[in-house]
Amino acid sequence: MNNNNESFSLTEPHQIAAYRLITMYHGLKAEVKGFRLTSKVNCFALVKREFGLRGTKVKVLAEFKALLQEHGVLSPDAK
């Protein structure tokens, strides 16, 4: 077992924004599998509204992933 107690702080606005986008991406991935990240607003609706994406959850997830990779928020090999 690795007892690595590393921590980090997000202090810059761009870091906080990137973390939010990554959280939305993982929430949408969970929704595609039938889970929910929150009980109020779903990530699918949030991503569609904020980025103007259209289509099914799977299609929106693929487009959102490509968008995040294009802007350097997700690495090209992200799953």
Q: Indicate whether 7 belongs to any domain.
A: no
DSSP category for residue 41: S
The answer on pLDDT for 76 being more than 90 is no
Query: Domain containing 56: what range?
Result: 27-79
Question: What is the pLDDT confidence band of residue 7, given thresholds at 50, 70 and 90?
Answer: confident
Q: Indicate whether 78 belongs to any domain.
A: yes
The answer on pLDDT for 15 being more than 80 is yes
Length of the chain, in residues: 79
C-alpha dihedral sign at 37, 38, 39, 40: negative
Q: Indicate whether 17 belongs to any domain.
A: no
Cα separation, 52 vs 57, whole angstroms: 13
Instruction: State the pLDDT at residue 2.
Output: 55
Q: In whole angstroms, how far apart are CA 71 and each of 46, 54, 63, 68?
A: 19, 19, 12, 5
Q: Indicate whether 13 belongs to any domain.
A: no
Q: Indicate whether 19 belongs to any domain.
A: no
Cα separation, 43 vs 29, whole angstroms: 9
Report how many domains make up the chain: 1
State percent of the chain over pLDDT 90: 72
Q: Indicate whether 40 belongs to any domain.
A: yes
